[in-house]
Amino acid sequence: MSGKHVAKNQPSSFTFTDENKKKIEEVLKKYPENKKKSAVMPLLYIAQRQNNNWIPLAAIQLIADMLGITYIKVYEVATFYTMYNLAPVGKYFVQVCTTTPCMIRGSGKVVEVCKKHISEKQGHLNKELDSSWIEVECLGACVNAPMVQINDDYFEDLNAEKAETIIKGFKEGKLPNIGSQSGRKGSEPIQNRTTLLNKNA
């Protein structure tokens, strides 16, 4: 059983909006009738987006009924992947990569900032900042480590000070521009590029 935090206060029911029902119809068209259970992941994602970035247990039951599979099968998927939240995470959900490249480049300091300003423990909602945080495995931006994902966006080339500035901005409803926080363009070297500078070359 997963150790993922599950909300204690659960809604008694869950219904997809008409707009999301149409999205689900389009998703299900991609699967043969006898394979529609494979749509569990996109349906969980639709439920999460509809419900302020977390999935209530009633939505898991609804999805199980829609796909003709057991509740526990859907619950297993929802608890296995970090992309699914089973409790409120707030308006600003911070995922800190702590895999080796980010660790070497100082992700531990970013974690300490999260502990100081959001919550000492992962997955606990800071109501004042409307935010929570967790550690995650590689998010695929190793060359711009350390980095965090906030909701759907990446913020890279962080240090403790830059992470602190970002988190303090939550109170004012502000986020910086996505991408590198050091001014790097793309994934160029930290000291700027040193090749292909001669236009005549």
Alpha helix (H) ranges present in 51-180?
57-67, 71-80, 100-104, 107-117, 160-168
Say what the pTM is: 0.81
SS3 133: strand
For the chain, 201 residues long, the average pLDDT of each consecutive 10-residue run is 73 96 97 94 97 96 97 96 92 96 96 97 93 94 95 95 97 93 77 64 52
Pairing relation of β-strands 131-136 and 179-180? unpaired
Q: Name all domains of the chain by residue range, CATH numbers in brackets.
A: 18-80 (1.10.10.1590), 92-180 (3.40.30.10)
Q: Identify the pLDDT of residue 189.
A: 66
* H/E run at residue 42: helix 40-50
Q: Phi/psi class of residue 10: alpha, beta or left (left: φ > 0; alpha: ψ in -120 to 50)?
A: beta
Q: Are 99 and 143 in contact (CB under 8 A)?
A: no
Task: State residue 193's pLDDT score.
Answer: 62
